[in-house]
């Protein structure tokens, strides 16, 4: 049944979902806020690039400055008062939130009564949503590890020296796009899907579509080699491995092309060491494997690409 606004309100107003509703506003707001500053800097950069004389004398910030002004402020009181104010506002916010909304408490834990849907805490819903597309060892173990390693690798594979300590979009298009796709599209959107769209049996229910606890999913997911009619297990394994290998090669090449799109990005590419290039490409390919597998599952109903007796991909 469609148009079930009551249920949508019920989901939205679950106390534990309030942070996600907050996230829905806060993340776009701060993204916009960051980009506003970035464009401000980009305009200044463009101006300075066309006017070398100005570049020599300008203080190089889009903020007002006149000669003779102090370059530095005393932390006491100019920073302390901001921190104090922030602490007060945050405390008031937390107090009001805590007075108006009670923390959830369900029935006592009962291993014999499964919650349906049983959901992880909201910040891990992205990983739980990934379980639809990958086996638990990838979605629950390998991917989180890769996210952590990938994040920690960022400073060491980003060879672009520009944009250090100021907002800019123009000078860092590639890294900003990569990060925002990862953070917004692959992390936050997955959380939103996990919260608002997944219903009983982790089935897809559009917002305002009533959760039907008796609904059965009749879709048949096939493995890739079955589509091609390969029956021999070893041939299928070889075929699957080839496809996975092809994915790596093709997407690796696409990533390479992407790194060579502009003259600036070619310049940055020149500065990278072989180790940096290999790490960057491996991480990008692995990141791309999530939307690739999602598309394979959602569009072509493919369950596994590679089936082996020990693990499936």
Partner 1 sequence: MPEENDKGAGKPTGLLGTVKETVKGDLAGLKGVLVEKGKEELAALKEPEKTQLFRSIFRVKRDETPRSRALSVLTNVFFHLHPAKINRDAVRYSYTWGMGGMSFYLFLVLTITGVLLMFYYHPTKGQAYRDILYLHHDVPFGQLLRNMHRWGAHLMIIAVWLHMLRVFLTGSYKRPREFNWCVGVILMVLTLLLSFTGYLLPDDQLGFWAVTVGTNMARATPLLGHEGPFGAQLGMTAFNDVRFALLGGSIVDANALLRAYIWHCIAIPLIASVFMGVHFWRVRKDGGISGPAPVMLESEMKEEKKGPRPVILRPSGTR
Q: What is the DSSP string of 137-150?
A: IIIIIIHHHHHHHH
Residue 227 within binding range of partner 1, rule CB under 8 A:
no
Residue 90 within binding range of partner 1, rule CB under 8 A:
yes
Closest approach of Cβ 310 to partner 1, in Å?
5
56 versus 257: smaller Cβ distance to partner 1:
56
Residue 283 within binding range of partner 1, rule CB under 8 A:
no
* Interacting positions 110-129 with partner 1 (CB under 8 A): 110-111, 113-115, 118-124, 127-128
- The answer to whether the beta carbons of residues 269 and 259 sit under 8 Å apart is yes
Residue 60 within binding range of partner 1, rule CB under 8 A:
yes
Closest approach of Cβ 275 to partner 1, in Å?
14
Closest approach of Cβ 83 to partner 1, in Å?
6
Residue 129 to residue 192: CA distance in whole angstroms: 10
Binding mask 162-191 for partner 1 (x = CB under 8 A): xxxxxxx--xx---x--x---x--------
| 296: preceding bond cis by omega (within 30 degrees) | no
Residue 57 within binding range of partner 1, rule CB under 8 A:
no
HEC states along 148-171?
HHHHHHHHHHCCCCCCCCCCCCHH
Binding mask 186-225 for partner 1 (x = CB under 8 A): ----------------------------------------
Q: How far is CA 131 from CA 70, 193, 298, 302, in A?
A: 55, 13, 13, 14
Q: Which of 97, 204, 206, 300 binds partner 1 (CB under 8 A)?
A: 97
Cβ atoms within 10 A of the Cβ of 208, count?
A: 15
Q: What is the CA radius of gyration of the chain?
A: 25
């Amino acid at each position: 049944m469609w148009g079930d606004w009551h249920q949508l309100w019920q989901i939205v107003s679950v106390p534990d979902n309030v942070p996600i509703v907050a996230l829905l506003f806060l993340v776009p707001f701060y993204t916009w806020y960051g980009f506003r500053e970035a464009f401000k800097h980009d305009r200044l950069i463009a101006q300075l690039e066309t006017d070398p004389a100005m570049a020599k004398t300008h203080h190089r910030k889009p903020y007002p400055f006149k000669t003779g002004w102090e370059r530095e402020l005393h932390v006491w009181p100019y920073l302390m008062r901001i921190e104090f104010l922030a602490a007060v506002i945050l405390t008031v916010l937390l107090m009001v939130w805590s007075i108006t909304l009670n923390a959830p408490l369900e029935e006592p834990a009962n291993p014999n009564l499964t919650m349906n849907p049983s959901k992880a805490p909201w910040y891990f819903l992205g990983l739980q949503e990934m379980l639809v597309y990958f086996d638990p060892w990838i979605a629950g173990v390998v991917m989180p590890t890769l996210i952590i390693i990938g994040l920690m690798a960022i400073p060491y594979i980003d060879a672009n020296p520009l944009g250090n300590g100021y907002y800019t979009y123009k000078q860092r298009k590639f890294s900003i796009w990569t990060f925002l796709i990862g953070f917004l599209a692959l992390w936050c959107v997955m959380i939103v899907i996990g919260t608002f769209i997944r219903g009983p049996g982790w089935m897809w229910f559009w917002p305002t579509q009533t959760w039907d606890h008796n609904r059965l999913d009749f879709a048949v997911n096939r493995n890739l080699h079955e589509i091609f009619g390969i029956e021999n297990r070893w041939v299928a394994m070889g075929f699957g491995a080839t496809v996975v290998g092809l994915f790596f090669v093709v997407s690796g090449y696409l990533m390479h092309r992407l790194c060579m799109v502009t003259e600036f990005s070619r310049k940055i590419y020149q500065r990278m060491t072989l180790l940096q290039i290999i790490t960057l490409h491996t991480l990008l390919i692995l990141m791309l494997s999530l939307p690739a597998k999602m598309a394979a599952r959602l569009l072509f109903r493919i369950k596994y690409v590679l089936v082996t007796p020990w693990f499936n991909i």
